[in-house]
Structure 1
Amino acid sequence: MVNDQLMLLERAFLNPRAFPEKYYYSHVLWAPRTSSVPTFPGLANACEEASKTPHDPEAWAKVRKQLSIAVMAVEGAAATLEPVALR
């Protein structure tokens, strides 16, 4: 059961919508990035791009989208960590 939880924990961070322009990346926590932040690269990249154009609503919409993807991944991962009764 614990091994299943660990497998599901890792899968919770996979989302094909995390990087629509790079379809071969789907991990929300670890992927190549253009910003200096090592985790949540989609969110970090979107924030960096939006900060370059602070009055662009489209750029900030991408930040909100990436934030919701990251939140869903963390909530999904937390849900997999329910206590397991060991035999």
Structure 2
Amino acid sequence: MFNDQLMLLERAFLNSRAFPEERYYSHVLWAPRSSSVATFPGLANACYQANDANAGSEAWAEVQRQLSIIVAALEGAAATLRPVADL
């Protein structure tokens, strides 16, 4: 039962929409990044690009989208760690 929860925990951090420009990456916590931040690469990349002086509202919309993806992943991860009633 515990191993199943760990497997589901890892799956909670997979999102095929996290990196639309990189079709081979889907892990919300770990993936190649363009910034110096080691975790949450989608959010880090979006913030890095939005902080550019020429960035428009689309760049900040991407920051918000990436943050939403992270929140959904964390909520899913928390749900997998809830105690399971013994049968």
**Counterpart in the other structure of 1:31:** 31
**Counterpart in the other structure of 1:67:** 67
- Return the offset for 1:83: 1.4
* 1:45-77 CA distance string (max 9 Å, x none): 000100013661000000000000011001100
Write the distance in 2 (CA, Å) between the matches of 1:49 and 1:85: 45
Residues 55 and 22 of structure 1, relative CA distance in 2, 3 Å threshold = closer
Question: Any stretches of 5+ residues in structure 2 without a counterpart?
Answer: none
TM-score by length of 1: 0.93
The AA in structure 2 aligned to 1:38 is: A
- Return the offset for 1:85: 5.2
Count the aligned residue pairs: 87
- Return the offset for 1:84: 3.6
RMSD over aligned CA atoms reads 1.5
**Counterpart in the other structure of 1:79:** 79
Question: Any stretches of 5+ residues in structure 1 without a counterpart?
Answer: none
Identity of aligned residues (%): 72
Residues 6 and 21 of structure 1, relative CA distance in 2, 3 Å threshold = same
